[in-house]
Amino acid sequence: MAQARDPYQVLGVSKDASSDDIKKSYRKLAREHHPDRTGGDDTKFKEINAAHAILSDEEKRKLYNEFGFQAFRPGFNAEQARAFGGAFRGGGGGAGGMDLDDLLRSMFGGGGGGAGPGSFHFEFGGGGPQRGRRGFARGPRRGRDLEVAFQVSLVEAIAGTEAQFMLPTGSKVKVRIPKGVRTGTTMRLKGKGSPGSDGGPPGDVLLKIEVLDHPLVRIDGDDLEMDLPLSFAESLRGGQITAPTPTGTVKIRIPRAAASGTRMRLKGRGLPVGGSETRQGDLYLVLRPTPPGAPDSAETESLAEQLDALYSDGPRDEIDFG
């Protein structure tokens, strides 16, 4: 196995790169080299995850900048290393290089691994090693917690879904995403994190949920707001129409001469509250009268002239900034 490379070089960022720059570069590279993609490279993907695990954590990044990969060897003690006047310092990776498999084992407690559908990145949580008086590990140690970012669609957030994906430890998990999850919801998967050592228990996986944006629907707390296109005829004469919504098809009555931007409230058609089957927010339909799709036809021009004739005053006559 090749020696682990400088994480800055792996992610293609400078040593003074911001956390946002590091995250953007990581996500781009992780998508390109994901093992599930055609042409994906499992070894490269592991290397990218290991580099991100170092640079996305402020403390680990400082340790790497000061001591290089030496900082991640079992039993390493930064205070003792400093006491020797820098004798063990790696100078940002120059000394104390590690095999990639050794680095992954020391950080993840396993051999790396790929991400599953919907997941973007893996980071460290809590559950760090315990140290004895001389800085060496003593007794059972709990495995590290792993943070996994997972994306769901709006429809999946409303109805709930079942997801299966690969953890960075290499194991597959299947979880049920409950109804009504929001961006920022954290699900704890007990015992699915990095394995412990010396008989210690494994850590947990913290599943961080992100609900993807929808082109028509917006989330406002427990409520949803949706743009509803109408024909000009529907907006003029009003009446009952059938409309698709994220929570199912509904029949609604449109008021006569409905103006663009008119909001209609449908109670109980929003997001489930706390996974409840009975408590839900509301859905607000924003009416959007839409012109026909053939603006250059003679029929459309004739219709426009007829509509103009219905206005007793100009639509902007009452606007006055004086």
What does the DSSP assignment read for 264-286?
A: EEETT-S-BSTT-SS-B--EEEE
pLDDT given for residue 110 in this prediction: 47
CATH class of 1-110: mainly alpha
CATH code for the part of the protein at 217-309: 2.60.260.20
The two structure tokens encoding residue 242: 């059938």
The count of other CB atoms within 10 Å of the CB of residue 59 is 11
pLDDT given for residue 119 in this prediction: 36
Q: Where does CATH 2.60.260.20 sit in the chain? A: 115-128+142-212, 217-309
* Greater pLDDT, 170 or 86: 170
Percent of the chain with pLDDT over 70: 78
Q: List alpha helices for 139-289, DSSP H.
A: 154-159, 232-237
The count of other CB atoms within 10 Å of the CB of residue 238 is 14
The count of other CB atoms within 10 Å of the CB of residue 260 is 11
CB 273 within 8 A of CB 297: no
pLDDT given for residue 111 in this prediction: 42
Cα–Cα distance between 69 and 264 in angstroms, integer? 60
Name the most confidently modeled range: 133-142, 165-174, 188-197: 188-197
Q: Tokens 């996500």, residue?
A: 27
pLDDT given for residue 125 in this prediction: 38
- Give, to the nearest 10 degrees, the angle between helix 42-55 and helix 100-108: 50
CB 216 within 8 A of CB 284: no
Q: Where does CATH 1.10.287.110 sit in the chain? A: 1-110
List 224's β-bridge partners, or say none.
Answer: 219, 283
Of 10-24, 44-58, 152-166, 283-297, the range with the lowest mean pLDDT is 283-297
pLDDT given for residue 295 in this prediction: 64
pLDDT given for residue 226 in this prediction: 92
How high is the mean pLDDT of the chain? 79
CB 30 within 8 A of CB 45: yes
The count of other CB atoms within 10 Å of the CB of residue 178 is 15
pLDDT given for residue 198 in this prediction: 83
pLDDT given for residue 131 in this prediction: 41
Cα–Cα distance between 206 and 127 in angstroms, integer? 12
Report the pLDDT averaged over residues 271-283. Answer: 78
Element (H, E) at 305: helix 298-309
Report the pLDDT averaged over residues 283-297. Answer: 82
Q: What is the pLDDT of residues 300-314, one digit of tens each?
A: 778 778 878 877 777
Q: In 268-289, which positions are buried (b, 16+ CB within 10 angstroms) versus exposed (e)?
A: ebbbbeeeeeeebbbbbbebbb
Of 33-42, 152-161, 244-253, the range with the lowest mean pLDDT is 33-42
Q: What is the pLDDT of residues 207-222, one digit of tens each?
A: 999 999 888 899 998 8
CB 143 within 8 A of CB 137: no
User: Is the Cα torsion angle 293, 295, 299, 305 positive or negative in sign?
Assistant: positive
Is 315's pLDDT higher than 80?
Answer: no
* Greater pLDDT, 242 or 113: 242
Report the pLDDT averaged over residues 100-120. Answer: 50
Q: Tell which residue, 258, 241, 248, 246, has the closest CA to residue 216.
A: 246
CATH fold for the domain made of 115-128+142-212: HSP40/DNAj peptide-binding domain (2.60.260)
Query: Taking the C-alpha atoms of 152, 187, 109 and 70 in order, what is their torsion angle to the nearest 10 degrees?
Result: 80
The two structure tokens encoding residue 166: 């690969």
The two structure tokens encoding residue 212: 């993807």
